Amino acid sequence: MKFQRLFLSITLMTFGAVAFSQSLQQSAPPSNAQKSFDAMKSLAGTWQGPVTTDPKMEGMGDGAHTQVTLRVTSRGNALVHEMKEASTPDDPARYDHPVTMFYLDSDRLNLVHYCDAGNRPHMIARTSPDGRTIEFDFVDISGSTQYGHMQHAVFTIIDSNHHTEDWTYLMSGDKSVRAHIDLQRAK
């Protein structure tokens, strides 16, 4: 009988310690990467707005409208970002239709851009102190850079219905083209 009481006491203390440890882990504050990812996921929906480029690009006149769709997927573990010119049909085989994936890996928010140029640049996020600006810095790339590649991206959350995106494309010869998109949530 003494052995059963001792065994029961040890078992209860073990379960109590495990439960306490789990509650401590659950109450730990989220990392900056998790906060940034949550902020990005809050942008889920359809967005429209004008794009401007610097320098001006042929076919991308100032004020051309872009449609961006963001969708949370994989049980909240990934965010899909799709971009296309608002006036074009949804035909990614004929028109530009880049896809960008966001995901957490440990304490880093990652971006992989599946570019129409046939490559996949990988970037890592930095977050501003106020949490409203999430800036992605280039890390590495898969695929050819013959036609250039995305080099940098910045998402600025103004409010729940307005955000901006700034994308920097590095062309062959190291010439940068910047695109600024001022997006409003579609009604």
Q: How confident is the model at residue 13 (pLDDT cuts 50, 70, 90)?
A: low
Long-range contacts of 108-115, Cβ-Cβ distance < 8 Å, separation of 24 or more:
108/33, 109/33, 109/36, 109/37, 109/40, 109/134, 111/136, 111/153, 113/150, 113/153, 115/143, 115/149, 115/150
Q: What is the pLDDT of residues 129-182, one digit of tens each?
A: 888 999 999 999 999 999 999 999 999 999 999 999 999 999 988 899 999 999
Rounded distance, CA 119 to CA 114, Å?
A: 6
pTM for the whole thing?
0.81
The residue to which tokens 């608002």 are assigned: 86
Q: What's the pLDDT at 9?
A: 59
Q: What's the pLDDT at 86?
A: 83
Q: What's the pLDDT at 127?
A: 86
User: Do 79 and 112 have their domain in common?
Assistant: yes
User: Do 21 and 79 have their domain in common?
Assistant: no
Q: What's the pLDDT at 124?
A: 98
Residue 1 domain boundaries: 1-29
Q: What's the pLDDT at 26?
A: 64
User: Do 37 and 20 have their domain in common?
Assistant: no
User: Do 131 and 148 have their domain in common?
Assistant: yes
The torsion defined by the Cα of 146, 148, 150 and 152, in degrees rounded to 10, comes to: 120
Rounded distance, CA 62 to CA 53, Å?
A: 7
Residue 121: cis peptide before it, omega within 30 degrees of 0: no
User: Do 12 and 63 have their domain in common?
Assistant: no
